[in-house]
Amino acid sequence: MVRIIGFKVRMNAEGDPFNALIVQGSVELVKSQETGLFYAIAKKASIPSTFDDKTCESLIGQEIDGSVQKAECDPYSFTNEETG
């Protein structure tokens, strides 16, 4: 299960705003490679949506099926329009 913990307004390629839901996975214990001690983490991810601000706010706290996992992907380049 993942929990919706917030949302952010993002811009698409045409400059139009849309809302992305911020989800957080379950708590995991990870062992430090340096100290050997355990610490708690919770992975986060964002999911694009078509919901308005009011709907996104009402979804905060809800749980949905799934998990947050790191996945390998092909390298890509990105140019920040503001800084070049």
Write the Ramachandran bin of 20: left for phi over 0, alpha for psi from -120 to 50, otherwise beta: beta
- E strand or H helix that includes residue 55: helix 53-59
Taking the whole predicted model, whether its pTM rises above 0.85 is answered as no
Tell me phi and psi for residue 12, to 5 degrees. Answer: -85, -175
How high is the pLDDT of residue 77? 86
Specify the pLDDT at position 26.
Answer: 93
Answer whether residue 22 shows pLDDT above 90. yes
Mean per-residue pLDDT for 4-28? 95
